[in-house]
Amino acid sequence: MRLRKMLPVLLAGTLLIGACAQATTPPPTPAETQASPTQQAESPVMPVDVPPTSAYPGPDEPINPPAATKPHPNPGYAPQPGDDQLNRGNVFVDESGILTMESYPPQFVLHLIGNLPTPCHQLRAVVSEPDKTGRINVELYSLSDPNALCTQVLAPFEATIPLGSYTEGSYPVTINGDQPVGEINP
């Protein structure tokens, strides 16, 4: 019976000590906040690849760039040698949006959040050049090894796909020809 009366007091004291310890703990250093390679490998979210851009034109860059350039190379998600030997699968996009990078000329990227069919699937993206109506289509798909044994569970991903640089005009962006994402209006 005496233990039941002391239990609330002990619990309150423990919570108070824990709160004080957290308040006096210094913030982590940048080296402490970076995940180790093993922690990064365990993360279910794929890394985001954003190409470096310059805020100002370089000495060899034109001051008045062309209205549109070819889509930026997409090394992380572009088709790779040997992809023809892999099975093609779906990509389930939950959120998508177009981001404008602070650069000159303006660079645009497609930000995606979604799921791959299994953890064994790899994301692929092919960005088309604007067609005669200005529409940019991003073909999204996944690939997996047909001989791999894989857990049958969705694998979340987050990806940033470079769309290129545009200075004038209006460019609607779609995924797989039919899913509208938004419009680039530089």
Q: CATH for 35-184, among 1.25.40, 1.10.540, 2.60.40, 3.40.50?
A: 2.60.40
The number of residues in the chain equals: 186
What's at 183, amino acid-wise? E
**Residue 104: its pLDDT value, please?**
84
Q: Tens digit of pLDDT for each residue in 49-107?
A: 444 444 444 455 444 444 444 455 566 899 999 999 999 999 999 999 999 998 888 89
Tell me what the mean pLDDT of segment 115-122 comes to. Answer: 96
pLDDT at 121 over 80: yes
Residue spans per domain, the chain: 35-184
CB-based contacts of 171, cutoff 8 Å, min separation 6: 68, 130, 134, 135, 136, 183, 184, 185
**φ/ψ (deg, to 5) at 92:** -105, 105
22 Cβ contact partners less than 8 Å away, ≥ 6 residues apart: none
Q: What amino acid occupies position 143?
A: L
The yes-or-no verdict on residue 47 having pLDDT over 60 is: no
Say what the pLDDT of residue 76 is: 80
Inform me whether the pLDDT recorded for 141 exceeds 80: yes
Q: What DSSP designation does 75 have?
A: T
> What is residue 105's predicted lDDT score, i.e. its pLDDT?
86
Phi, psi (rounded to 5 degrees) for 116: -100, 155
Q: Of 109 and 60, which is predicted with more confidence?
A: 109
Distance separating alpha carbons of residues 91 and 148, to the nearest angstrom: 19
